[in-house]
Structure 1
Amino acid sequence: MTTALLPLAYGYVRDDMLRDSTSSEGRLYNTARSLGYELGAVFHEPSPQNGTLPPAFVDLVQECRRAEAHTVITPHGHMSSISICRMVLLTMLDVRAAAAVHEVEL
């Protein structure tokens, strides 16, 4: 009996929005699995920088492209409320990595 591999996804969280990063990361892994994905890693963003692309987000885009992962799972609101417009981040993921974002409640 062979087991089918689940499609690869990556997680993205802003540490300044988490109460407990260990617990939140575990819930993100479980949520990914329930959506039918294998979560490869979670990229943690420290407090947002002023007017620059968030460094962990840049790493996320590069990794999605490298691994040909087309899904990013993030808690609702973690790609908002930063100095760079949410639409810019979503467009970068789409254009540079052909990745879509699933925002989920944790």
Structure 2
Amino acid sequence: MTALLPLAYGYLRDDLIGDRDRDSGEDMLRAAARSLGYELGTVFHEPPPETGLLPPVFVDLLQECRRAAAHAVITLQGHMSNMSVPRMVLQARAEVVVHEVG
């Protein structure tokens, strides 16, 4: 019997990757999840940022992490590092670890 791996979600900002790189970005997150010992669920794609403190897709990610009791969020380097408030919210409200890879 195979043990279930802890759940992680992915997060990518579409303004930092091109349409062509969308699939390769998701592939990188899946490989990173496997190497970190997680099962990657949905990859949330944030459209180019608008004004406001919390981007809308990020709010969806936060709610899903809490609902599913996810253990981690995996993102590419730079996709969340300039967003200190959202990162802190994820860690405090959803109790997930944020991994920036690549």
TM-score over 0.5 for the pair: yes
Q: Which runs of 4+ in 1 moved over 6 A?
A: none
**2:72 paired with 1:78:** no
**2:96 paired with 1:102:** no
* 1:90/1:100 contact within 8 Å kept: no
**Residue 87 (structure 1) shift:** 2.1
**Residue 71 (structure 1) shift:** 0.4
Q: Note the alpha carbon deviations across 1:29-85, whole angstroms, 9 max, x for none.
A: 11111111000110000001123411110000000000000200000110144xxxx
Q: Any stretches of 5+ residues in structure 1 without a counterpart?
A: none
Aligned residue number for residue 50 of structure 2:
49
**2:90 paired with 1:93:** yes
CA distance in 2, matches of 1:58, 1:51: 12
Letter in 2 for 1:9: A
Percent identity over the alignment is 63
Letter in 2 for 1:4: A
CA distance in 2, matches of 1:70, 1:44: 19
**Residue 89 (structure 1) shift:** 0.9
Letter in 2 for 1:3: T
Alignment length (residue pairs): 100
Q: Any stretches of 5+ residues in structure 2 without a counterpart?
A: none
